[in-house]
Structure 1
Amino acid sequence: MSESGGSSGLSVVVAGGGTAGHIEPALAVADALRRLDPTVTVTALGTERGLETTLVPDRGYRLELIPPVPLPRKPTMDLLRLPGRVRASVRRTREVLDAVDADVIVGFGGYVALPAYLAAGRGLTRRRRRVRVVVHEANASAGIANKIGARIAARVLAAVPRSGVAARGHADAEIVGIPVRSSITGLDRAGLRAQARAHFGLPADGPVLLVTGGSQGARSLNEAVSGAAAALAAAGVSVLHAHGPKNTLEVARHNPAAPYVAVPYLTRMDLALAAADATVCRSGAMTVAEISAVGLPAVYVPLPHGNGEQELNARPVVAAGGGLIVADAELTPEFVVDTVVPLLRDPDRLAAMGAAAAGAGHRDAADTVARVVVEVAKGATR
């Protein structure tokens, strides 16, 4: 074990920078490692461009920056510069591994994880000790970084079956769910309900719909739900709507007893989840994990772009009865009126969907990954 940082405990490097979907699971595992072993030293890899520059220090972890290696999506001059960028990033990553005397790298995909995997895969560090690798894939369709990392990993973990990433000699990864921070997994929605509603200026009684399209918002969600504001108010449904910092949302006040609260961004997602009875949201892997972990019924609206992985992320929860899926093009004010309003007016159905969502989630995923990390550090493999 490492003696880095004055500790005789484990030295772990988490590689999950860039987006919140990569950073949050990494930090959830870091927190779980500290709960499991207070002597652990956790170092996060990141780049100066990512959200990790604020999220990681705010959570009390050391952040080491490496050069970013974005993979060009089209044949451009950037493609010719890629080998040099990879070498520079791998070289810097190896310097970090040596400096913290790393025992294990835990990678969560993305352009921060790829240099970490390549640095570990090139063999021994200057201190002549191999750094083991654990890979976690959050999405239903694995990215190139984790596919590469799986080739050298001691353990490969995934959120859902058939993600396309697997350890050597195995048909699929170990299914553990997505690590979620304890402030979400331990959320007492019922106990916080009154405080949460007061925080947002929502009524203590009556159904509340939470609308969120992610950190940047989503125009289709904004237009569909705000377009149904009158019908929502008439049905006694209050709305808490995070529309995105770059968007504006003007909603007429139809019913003071059922307000429509529009905010650019939710800084207290825990309170938003506690205030709500159901949500209309995207179905990114982290969103699905958090929503299902707290047992909140959801209407998932997958992004209409990419390879369809957002729909795949939501399918297990929907199949269990914990939510609905609606195509982006089919999310209209009429859909909200005909489908979402009746759901919010049906307490028994909400309760059944909430229980099903909670049953489909993996509230202990962060602790499970932390235990795997410790096992790998001790030399155990699957």
Structure 2
Amino acid sequence: RQDLIDIKNKKQQARDYFNLAEDKKVLLVLGGSLGARRVNQLIAKELVNFTSQNVQVIWQCGKLYFDEYQRYNDNENVQVMSFIDRMDLVYAVADIVISRAGASSVSELCIVGKPVIFIPSPNVAEDHQTKNAKAIVDKGGALMVKEGELDTKFTEIFNNLLNDGNQQKSLSENIEKLAKVNATKDIVDEIVKLIKRQ
């Protein structure tokens, strides 16, 4: 994902592209391409909390759920999308990200270095999303709320993060340290080394 490496100078372009106000924070919600029912239910419930704190929401609800959730689109503070075609721009403009913790999402979020609250899917083999998220959380690079704890813990964790610039900065710096920008090249180099040894 070469386009994600240099997003820091795309913020204004991103604001124009998504028609966002400059004086409001931007929350990006990623539920995966198909969508995540529990994440979508949470966001619908939390919208008033978000918008009352001057937060604009870009909510990728997934194609399975778009018909159900598009009614929350208000074009001013909430943009509901089934799919986001310019991930480079949406990452550039996001102040906080809420995301599942699949391998590709985690690796992208490490590269873009944004404060993240992971909500791992419990419905995957060997609970690997929780393991992915925990690996980042243990290094101080993200926050995690399990699905079973969303109703009791999410609001407080989100509000604390939104209002704590130091925590945002710390999470960003720590998750960025975990980025494997040249992962593909490194793998190829290792393969070449192994071949040469034979």
TM-score of the aligned structures, taking structure 1 as reference length: 0.48
> Does the Cα contact within 8 Å between 2:145 and 2:154 map onto a contact in 1?
no
The alignment status of 1:210 with 2:31, answered yes or no, reads no
Query: Any residues of structure 2 matched to 1:1-382 within 5 Å, and which?
Result: 181-184=1-4, 186-188=5-7, 190-247=8-65, 248-249=68-69, 250-251=71-72, 253=74, 256=76, 259-305=77-123, 306-332=125-151, 335-377=153-195, 379-380=196-197
Letter paired with 2:57: V
Letter paired with 1:320: K
Letter paired with 1:329: G
Identity %: 28
> Does the Cα contact within 8 Å between 2:28 and 2:90 map onto a contact in 1?
yes
CA-based RMSD of the aligned residues comes to 1.9
* Secondary structure at 2:72 match in 1: coil
Residue of structure 2 equivalent to 1:30? none
Larger radius of gyration: 1
CA offsets per residue over residues 212-239 of structure 1, 9 Å max, x none?
1111011111110121111111111111
Residue 376 of structure 1, CA deviation: 3.5
Letter paired with 2:127: G
Higher share in helix: 2
> Does the Cα contact within 8 Å between 1:237 and 1:341 map onto a contact in 2?
no
Distance between the aligned counterparts of 1:203 and 1:196, measured in 2?
Answer: 11
Letter paired with 2:137: V
Residue 349 of structure 1, CA deviation: 1.4
Letter paired with 1:218: A
Residue of structure 2 equivalent to 1:25? none
Residue 321 of structure 1, CA deviation: 1.0
Distance between the aligned counterparts of 1:380 and 1:238, measured in 2?
Answer: 54
Unaligned residue ranges in structure 2 (runs of 5+): none
Distance between the aligned counterparts of 1:242 and 1:222, measured in 2?
Answer: 9
Greater relative contact order (CA < 8 Å, ≥ 6 in sequence): 2
Distance between the aligned counterparts of 1:242 and 1:197, measured in 2?
Answer: 17
Would you identify which runs of 4 or more consecutive aligned residues in structure 1 move more than 6 Å?
A: none
